[in-house]
Amino acid sequence: MMKKFRAFQINEKEERIVASFKELTISDLSEGNVIIKVTHSTINYKDALAATGKGKILRRYPLVGGIDLAGVVEETSSSDFSVGDSVLVNGCGLSETRDGGYAEYARVPAETVIAIPGNMDSRKVMQIGTAGYTAALAIHRMEQNGQHPELGPIVVTGATGGVGSVAIDMLSTRGYEVIAVTGKSNKMEYLKDLGAAKVIIRDDLDYGKRPLEKAVWAGAIDNLGGDMLAWLMRTVNYGGNIASIGLASSYKLDTTVMPLILRAVNLLGINSVDTPRELREAVWERIGADLCPQNLEIIAPKSISFEELPGTFDAFIEGRVIGRMVVNIQ
């Protein structure tokens, strides 16, 4: 297939990031044995960092941006898929080491491709996207490690972001009592609409200074790192699980081993990019079943056109976006 198509490509010129629409052909894309006609993508904080150069995301240049994509198989030499199959790819090196989802076509290895769950379409899986997948992976790992609703409340930090929003929805659907922590005092109703039982304003928190503070939570999903993660470790109850998925506040962690050895707290690192295929398939299967979000039209009500994509990144960098945003590629 040699016809030209639109792609939003990120390049480096004179040590400066330049991102713009280009005309490409399939032969211009990273190698792979599945060609997908992309219908939808999405915007994540990581995408905004990559496109603006505010973060070192790409490991080679140029690359098509976008860490998420969904669409229909156009061509394949893999026996795992057929032409016309509805599929998705998230993470797996998209917009890091290989061309991503901001293009009308993508070429990817079959091992990165996941069949869209039967009760979903490409727009819905992109409303969920990498952010929702990360939330589901965190919950899955926590429950593999013994977490269940009867143990008590789960704290979700960075609650109005994509991961936080979907995590609240999924956890409340599973029967957990969810405590949302946010810096946005004007979004309390939004968080309660998603299922948060209580909302704590971040600036009102007293982190304390002792190696162990009063244990009040059964577990947590943390988007922030830094002082927030250290506080969670000091306040989670015996045997509780903390899923660490982000560093929006800081990549540093100043803590002690006391929560680990005196309360048996479990700190679980969540990497959504390099998830083994078997685990990735299991998590997406759960997203189509018991972890299916119930409030996607609250979390991701807005879709933008492909042409509007470049003008959206600054809002993500500045923290002005609530929930998720879908990009209509076709």
Kindly report the CATH number assigned to the domain that includes residue 204.
Answer: 3.40.50.720
Do 260 and 148 share a structural domain? yes
> Which whole number is the average pLDDT over 140-168?
97
What CA–CA distance (Å, rounded) separates 88 from 79?
17
pTM for this prediction:
0.94
Do 218 and 102 share a structural domain? no
| Percentage of the chain exceeding pLDDT 90 | 92
The count of domains in the chain is 2
For residue 247, what are the domain limits? 129-269
Indicate if the pLDDT at residue 2 is higher than 80: no
Do 111 and 151 share a structural domain? no
Residue 294 lies in a domain: no
130-151 pLDDT tens trace: 999 999 999 999 999 999 999 9
Do 198 and 140 share a structural domain? yes
Do 87 and 47 share a structural domain? yes
Kindly report the CATH number assigned to the domain that includes residue 75.
Answer: 3.90.180.10
> Which whole number is the average pLDDT over 39-43?
97
Do 189 and 307 share a structural domain? no
Indicate if the pLDDT at residue 216 is higher than 70: yes
Structure-block tokens of residue 5: 């198509």
Do 307 and 209 share a structural domain? no
42-98 pLDDT tens trace: 999 999 999 999 988 999 999 999 999 999 999 999 999 999 999 999 999 999 999
Residue 30 lies in a domain: yes
254-291 pLDDT tens trace: 999 999 999 999 999 999 999 999 999 999 999 999 99
Q: CB 148: neighbour CB atoms within 10 A?
A: 13
Confidence of residue 226 (pLDDT cuts 50, 70, 90): very high
Which are the contacts of 43, defined by CB distance < 8 A and separation ≥ 6?
Answer: 309, 312, 313, 316, 321, 325, 327
| Percentage of the chain exceeding pLDDT 70 | 100
Burial of residue 119 (number of CB atoms within 10 Å: 0-12, 13-18, 19+): exposed
Do 77 and 9 share a structural domain? yes
Do 137 and 98 share a structural domain? no
Do 109 and 32 share a structural domain? yes
Contact status, residue 44 vs residue 68, Cβ threshold 8 Å: yes
Confidence of residue 1 (pLDDT cuts 50, 70, 90): low
Burial of residue 78 (number of CB atoms within 10 Å: 0-12, 13-18, 19+): middle
Do 79 and 34 share a structural domain? yes
Mean pLDDT of the chain: 95
